[in-house]
Amino acid sequence: MKFSTRPGHEAQQRKGWLAAYRWLLLRRFTQLTVIVLFLLGPFAGIWIVKGNLASSELFGVIPLSEPLITLQLLASGFIPLQAMVIGTLLVIIFYALVGGRVYCSWFCPVNVITDSASWLRERLKITTSVKLHRSVRFWVLTMVILLPIFTGTMAYESVNPVAMIHRAIIYGLGMTLSVAVALFLYDLLLQRKGWCGHLCPMGALYSIIGRFSPLRVRADKRQACNDCMECFVVCPEPQVIKPALKGAGKGVGPVILDSACTNCGRCIDICAEDVFNFGLRWRNQGDQPD
Amino acid sequence: MQNNSPNANDQEQSDNDVSRRRFLTDMAKSACGMTLLGMGIGLYSAQNSALPALALRPPGALAERDFLATCSRCGLCVRDCPYDILRLADIGEEVAVGTPYFIARQGGCEMCPDIPCIPVCPTNALDHNLTEINDARMGLAVVIDQESCIAFLGLRCEVCFNICPIRGKAITIEKSSNLRSGKHALFIPVVHSDSCTGCGKCEEGCVTDIASIKILPAPLAQGQLGAHYRLGWREKEAAGRSLVAPDVEHQYNLPEGQHYEHGGEGLVIDNAPNATPFASNPLDTLNSDFGQRP
């Protein structure tokens, strides 16, 4: 393992700056575009999408709804309207195809906050960490869905920091932005990838939705891996890489099948040997001859 | 070898026990942690679900508890309000975070006939069955301070009466005599709960420094008559006759050619075209020479 240079240095040297940050830049562009599209309405009168990521209307006709909201609505004993059912199904179908946690890494604005926190955390060499298993988010998800049954209201939406941050940005709610600061500090000081990687029930639900998604990251050229470990350093869910990258001996891989993978593409960018690429989940029987 | 085999099994067995025990402990820990966290969030949201009296929900909003069970806090109603009356609650406001509301004094609901905030609501938190804005019940106007309302001080105001979108129905002006001056009338605004939508235009328009008419949640503003009460005059009207002892026929000992209408005209002089010295037009009375001198 190299400690002399920062992760990505070699990829930059070998592939050039743009190629070494291609997917990251695309993701940041997508995240920004989502916010801009929501803000074009109120600021420029161009209504492409209206509402926020909880529920929205695309081009004034296509409903989109957050599945976790719909689940909470059902749990509190209400039947969603037809448009909401359609909106939820559209969202589920989209993420079932491209990968559930594509929501997390490509669309959710919180990703920018937590990515910045973990970037700074690494820069400042902060290593303090609370011990929480990555499965805790599924417990949180269970709790979120059970709460409306006991309280009769969407209780989690009173505290849901992700929804709050979306709303704060799109509706200009100043105090609500303090939640973003809280998440930033949690990820900076208390746990690496703490919120998105361990706690967020929305991410947990999306990982279930994308459990069988066709679009996956593949380590097709894993024999070229030189064990620099940089992909593990930048990956928001490093546990997903090992079976695909190192499973050749056991006849496992080369597709990253773990549903926690966010399809963010950082491993593709960072790898100087171009081991990783986007592809489909099939052809996954050990090593494939090129 | 013969001894080893059972030992290995024991070892495996005890490993299994340890891992099973750890698995169960971890499950129990997680379940306990989530229960505690869930109770915390549940209690917080319950505390947070009390709507302050002056915050009004958009038209068609379900009862507060059901509203909080359904509202996805997406803000589509806010976006589709043509008058930008609605806003989403920020942290630190007393309204449940992210839910839409308006403050009547800062701007009442303009009561659009097509109610654009409702059909856009994805969750039916704003009831899609409400299609007639006059049927909305966002609250109830109450003339809350008779000490500051200038109508009670004897001034002509009637701003709340005139600004009311259901003018003449939700608020009427009732005349009564001004006992202080002894010769003037008071023009008192009276709210009628069967028509008032709680839009808040009256509170917005009230001329006093702090509004003397306010929109309150209906349960806060309204009393309820005991269920056993019967209003005699209504029962009588419905039945067409008195339900208790027959009404006493009033007898008046009056000179011939006169009778008295109780609860009506009062003293009536029969067959006298100009029985009263006062003509219906006051000017005629002033111009006549009073008393019909021969």
Q: Which helix (H) or strand (E) holds B175?
A: strand B171-178
- Residue range B5-28: average pLDDT? 74
pLDDT recorded at residue B282: 73
What is the Cα–Cα distance from A84 to B144, expressed in whole angstroms? 41
Note whether A146 contacts B: Cβ–Cβ < 8 A: yes
Look up residue B61 and give its DSSP letter: B
Report helix, strand or coil for B186: strand
Interchain contact, A171 vs B91, CB within 8 Å: no
What chain A holds in terms of domains, given with CATH numbers, is 48-209 (no CATH), 214-280 (3.30.70)
What is the pLDDT of chain A when averaged over all its residues?
Answer: 90
For an interface test with B, the pick among A53, A55, A170 (most B C-beta atoms closer than 10 Å) comes out as: A55
Tokens of B283: 């000017």
Q: Which of B138, B84, B88, B141 is nearest to B116 (CA)?
A: B84
Q: Which residue of B has its CA nearest to A83?
A: B122
Interchain contact, A158 vs B45, CB within 8 Å: yes
Strand-pair partners of B252: none
- Residue range B204-215: average pLDDT? 96
Q: Is the pLDDT of residue B202 over 80?
A: yes
Residue B279 pLDDT class (50, 70, 90 cuts): low
What is the Cα–Cα distance from A111 to B44, expressed in whole angstroms? 26
Q: Half-sphere exposure (CA, 13 Å, Cβ side) for B276? A: 11
Look up residue A248 and give its DSSP letter: G
Note whether B72 contacts A: Cβ–Cβ < 8 A: yes
- Residue range A285-290: average pLDDT? 53
Note whether A29 contacts B: Cβ–Cβ < 8 A: no
Q: Which of A224, A228, A218 is nearest to A265 (CA)?
A: A218
Please report residues of B whose CB lies closer than 8 A to that of A73.
69-70, 72, 123
What is the Cα–Cα distance from A159 to A72, expressed in whole angstroms? 14
* A254 preceded by a cis bond (ω within 30 of 0): yes
Which residue intervals of chain A are DSSP H helices? 9-15, 17-20, 22-44, 67-75, 82-98, 102, 110-123, 136-151, 161-171, 178-185, 194, 201-209, 230-234, 241-246, 266-270
- Least Cα separation, residue B149 to chain A (angstroms): 36
Note whether B120 contacts A: Cβ–Cβ < 8 A: yes
Interchain contact, B98 vs A163, CB within 8 Å: yes
According to CATH, the topology of domain B139-223 is Alpha-Beta Plaits (3.30.70)
Q: Half-sphere exposure (CA, 13 Å, Cβ side) for A5? A: 11
pLDDT recorded at residue B272: 67
In 10 A of CB A87, how many CB atoms? 26
Strand-pair partners of A255: A218
ipTM surpassing 0.90, yes or no? no
pLDDT recorded at residue B28: 87
Q: How far is CA B51 from CA B47, B56, B130, B219, in A?
A: 10, 8, 22, 13
**Longest Cα separation, chain A:** 58
- Residue range A43-68: average pLDDT? 92
Tokens of A254: 């080369």
For the stretch A86-102, pLDDT in tens is 999 999 999 999 998 99
For the stretch B256-268, pLDDT in tens is 888 888 777 788 8
- Least Cα separation, residue B122 to chain A (angstroms): 6
Q: Which of residues 224-283 of A touch B (CB under 8 A)?
A: none
- Residue range B65-94: average pLDDT? 92
- Least Cα separation, residue A85 to chain B (angstroms): 9
User: At a CB cut-off of 8 Å and minimum separation 6, what does A51 contact?
Assistant: A38, A57, A64, B74, B75, B76, B79, B122
In 10 A of CB B35, how many CB atoms? 13
- Least Cα separation, residue A93 to chain B (angstroms): 19
Q: How many CB pairs lie under 8 A apart between chains A and B?
A: 140
Domain ranges of chain B: 1-47, 51-137, 139-223, 250-294
Q: Which residue has the higher pLDDT, B165 or A246?
A: B165
- Least Cα separation, residue B195 to chain A (angstroms): 30
Please report residues of B whose CB lies closer than 8 A to that of A69.
72, 123
Q: Which helix (H) or strand (E) holds B36?
A: helix B4-47
For the stretch A145-182, pLDDT in tens is 999 999 888 999 989 999 999 999 999 988 888 999 99
Interchain contact, B69 vs A152, CB within 8 Å: yes
Interchain contact, B68 vs A153, CB within 8 Å: yes
Residue B243 pLDDT class (50, 70, 90 cuts): confident
Structure-token match 């290995």, residue found: B8
For an interface test with B, the pick among A38, A147, A151 (most B C-beta atoms closer than 10 Å) comes out as: A151
Predicted model pTM: 0.82
Integer-rounded Cα radius of gyration of chain A: 20
pLDDT recorded at residue A284: 77
Please report residues of A whose CB lies closer than 8 A to that of B71.
154
Q: Which of residues 12-51 of B touch A (CB under 8 A)?
A: 26, 30-31, 33-35, 37-38, 41-42, 44-46, 48-49
Q: Which helix (H) or strand (E) holds B205?
A: helix B201-205
Please report residues of B whose CB lies closer than 8 A to that of A84.
122-123
Note whether A45 contacts B: Cβ–Cβ < 8 A: no
Q: Which residue of B has its CA nearest to A169?
A: B90
For the stretch B223-241, pLDDT in tens is 999 999 988 888 888 988 8
Look up residue A285 and give its DSSP letter: S
Q: Which residue of B has its CA nearest to A55?
A: B74
Q: Which residue of A has its CA nearest to B87?
A: A171
* Encoded amino acid at B208, one letter: T
pLDDT recorded at residue B245: 76
What is the Cα–Cα distance from A217 to A257, expressed in whole angstroms? 8
- Residue range A270-276: average pLDDT? 90
Give CA angle at A181 (A175, A185), nearest 5°.
Answer: 155
Q: Judge contact between A173 and A37, C-beta under 8 A.
A: no
- Least Cα separation, residue A213 to chain B (angstroms): 27
User: At a CB cut-off of 8 Å and minimum separation 6, what does B203 contact?
Assistant: B104, B105, B108, B141, B211, B213, B214, B215
Of the candidates A156, A163, A173, the beta carbon closest to that of B41 is on A156
Q: Which residue of A has its CA nearest to B84?
A: A42
CA terminus-to-terminus distance, chain B: 150
What percent of chain B has pLDDT above 70? 89
In 10 A of CB A125, how many CB atoms? 6
Note whether A39 contacts B: Cβ–Cβ < 8 A: no
What is the Cα–Cα distance from B284 to B67, expressed in whole angstroms? 63
Q: Which of B152, B149, B166 is nearest to B200 (CA)?
A: B166
Residue B10 pLDDT class (50, 70, 90 cuts): low
For the stretch A190-237, pLDDT in tens is 998 999 999 999 999 999 999 999 999 999 888 888 888 899 989 999
